[in-house]
Amino acid sequence: MGGLVEVNCETDFVAKNEDFRELVNTITKEVTLSSPDQGTNTNSKNWRNSKPKKVKALADLVALSVGKIGENIQLARAVKISSPPELQLRGYVHPPNEKGLLVGKYATVVAFKNANDEQLTKQLCAHIIGMNPTEIGTFEELEDATSSEQSEAEISSSKQSETAISSSSSSSSEDGDSSEESDVEIIEEEEKEEMLLRQKFLADSDVTVGQILKENDMDIIDFVRLECGETQKEVQ
């Protein structure tokens, strides 16, 4: 099982404070060790009154930290991720830190199947943070998209050949209009790919995430990605 929490403060100075990090550590452990019937929860409201062993309610802990540190602190979100034995959970934050509790502006927990390459799982977690996919997709959809792209590329190549032949045969008779037409450039903005399996892999842009997973006999079953301040942006 794994846990993700977003705890907001007002300054970088406090974010690096040991008391603040201890508070985040306590909240994260409480979320991770919560009873199974509480499940996954992306709203901190239900967690604020939970009671960690041998400590006061989380809301009281936050209030005590505000008084001790002297800055406003808020528990914005809390997520618990549980997985069956055949899956492996891996976490990553950015900026990365290797020791102790993982704390960063961006965080993700990913449920892998056959996570047999730790370096690759770390790269895939970093990819999810960097590319922010909204869905995983399926390998069937990936194959359909690849076939469609290949067909479109073949059609486009054929059209370009026809255009080149037509242009060369008529260039002598249309020289007067060529300079005007050459100033016209068609620019189509490429849509951001939101399906994880179809995204270009950040660590190797020559392949997609789906291709790298297939090559390594791995699969991504689910993921959760949090960015500090996301909920505040949505409200605004």
- Rounded Cα–Cα distance for residues 181 and 38 (Å): 65
The residues, ordered by sequence, that sit 6+ positions from 219 with a Cβ below 8 Å of its Cβ are 112, 113, 114, 213
Question: For domain 1-82, is the CATH number 3.30.479.20?
Answer: yes
Range 86-147+192-236 has CATH code 3.40.1160.10: no
pLDDT of residue 173: 35
Please state the pTM of the whole predicted model: 0.72
Q: 176 falls in which pLDDT band (50, 70, 90)? A: very low
**203: pLDDT strictly greater than 90:** yes
- List, for residues 14-57, the tens digit of each pLDDT value: 988 899 999 999 998 888 887 654 444 445 555 566 666 555 67
Q: Which one-letter amino acid corresponds to residue 26?
A: T
**Three-state DSSP class for residue 193:** coil
**C-alpha–C-alpha distance, residues 40 and 109, integer Å:** 13
Q: What is the band of 144 on the pLDDT scale with cuts at 50, 70, 90?
A: low
**Stretch 158-183: mean pLDDT:** 44
**Contact yes or no for 53/132 (Cβ under 8 A):** no
User: For residues 114 and 76, what is the distance between their CA atoms, to the nearest angstrom?
Assistant: 33
Question: Fold identical between 1-82 and 86-147+192-236?
Answer: yes
* 58 pLDDT tier (thresholds 50, 70, 90): confident
Does residue 149 register a pLDDT over 70? no
Domains of the chain by residue range:
1-82, 86-147+192-236
